[in-house]
Chains A and B, each alone.
Chain A
């Protein structure tokens, strides 16, 4: 005798998973259609910017943006490496602003790349956004605590110094 009830439960679960994957696929397609105009714009201004760009580092950066604009693995690696990147940004000493050939064009290339790469993998895009929010809140909390501890130490030192001065003046 065949136990149909557990077999049908298994198939039901499998169909639900397939339905969810297909729904995600449809979302991905709609997003790709939405992002297409931005990708074409990115291709246009990115290639034009490459032609006028002199700095080899900046050229490599723009080429990276253009090559990975449709790469779904980019956000997967960003989400995995984000904690390390965040700590690196916090502890690095040099904080110089990089000079770009044309700042407004560069920032619009970056904006278009962000839209394009988010449309390539919205699931991990949301993960990265949540990571950014969580780490920012954490850093604000930690930074706030450090400022409070510094103030408390300074207050203590001042009080101690005041007490010493008072003791010396009376003697």
Chain B
């Protein structure tokens, strides 16, 4: 089944049974996307942010202390 056929079949399905379509296509799609995003956030984004915080800490650590204005 090619992609144009899939699209036509889904449009027909949406016209005939809108509620069933809503439950099986967009809602399930949103659940899959949300799961993937959550997984990415925990496994990828958080460790990278921690590395970024380490980098900023290293910068502060090596920065020359500024003299206070008199």
Contacts and interface: CB of A to CB of B under 8 A. Distances in A.
A98 interface: no
B67 interface: no
Interface residues on B, range: 20 to 34
Interface of B: 1, 5-6, 9-10, 12-13, 17, 20, 24-25, 28-29, 32-33, 35-36, 39-40, 43-45, 47-48, 51-52, 54-55, 58-59, 61-64
A91 interface: no
A40 B6 contact: no
Interface residues on A, range: 20 to 34
A66 B39 CA distance: 30
28 contacts: A2-B17, A3-B13, A5-B1, A5-B9, A6-B5, A9-B6, A10-B10, A10-B25, A10-B29, A11-B28, A14-B29, A15-B32, A18-B33, A21-B40, A22-B43, A29-B43, A29-B47, A32-B47, A32-B51, A33-B47, A43-B59, A44-B62, A47-B64, A48-B62, A50-B63, A51-B64, A70-B51, A70-B52
Interface string A30-65: 001100100110011011101100000000000000
Given A6-B1, A46-B59, 4 more contacts: A10-B6, A14-B32, A28-B44, A48-B62
